[in-house]
Amino acid sequence: DAGITQSPRHKVTETGTPVTLRCHQTENHRYMYWYRQDPGHGLRLIHYSYGVKDTDKGEVSDGYSVSRSKTEDFLLTLESATSSQTSVYFCAISEGQRYEAFFGQGTRLTVV
Amino acid sequence: GQSLEQPSEVTAVEGAIVQINCTYQTSGFYGLSWYQQHDGGAPTFLSYNALDGLEETGRFSSFLSRSDSYGYLLLQELQMKDSASYFCAALGDFNKFYFGSGTKLNVKP
- CA B1 to chain centroid, in Å, comes to 20
d(CA A106, CA B75): 26
The answer, yes or no, to whether residue B26 has pLDDT greater than 90, is no
Mean pLDDT confidence for A3-29:
97
| Inter-chain CB pairs, A–B, below 8 Å | 59
The answer, yes or no, to whether residue B24 has pLDDT greater than 90, is yes
* B50 with A44: Cβ contact below 8 A: no
User: Which residues, at least 6 apart from A77, have a Cβ–Cβ distance to it below 8 Å?
Assistant: A18, A19, A20, A21, A64, A65, A66, A67
Write the residue in B33, B43, B95 that is nearest to A103 by C-beta: B43
Mean pLDDT confidence for B91-103:
92
Is A39 an 8 Å CB contact of chain B?
no
Is B86 an 8 Å CB contact of chain A?
no
Provide the Cα torsion B91, B25, A61, A36; round to 10°.
Answer: -70
pLDDT tens digits along A71-108: 999 999 999 999 999 999 999 999 876 678 999 999 99
pLDDT tens digits along B27-84: 889 999 999 999 999 999 999 999 999 999 899 999 999 999 999 999 999 999 999 9
Residue of B nearest to A37 (CA): B101
The answer, yes or no, to whether residue A1 has pLDDT greater than 80, is no
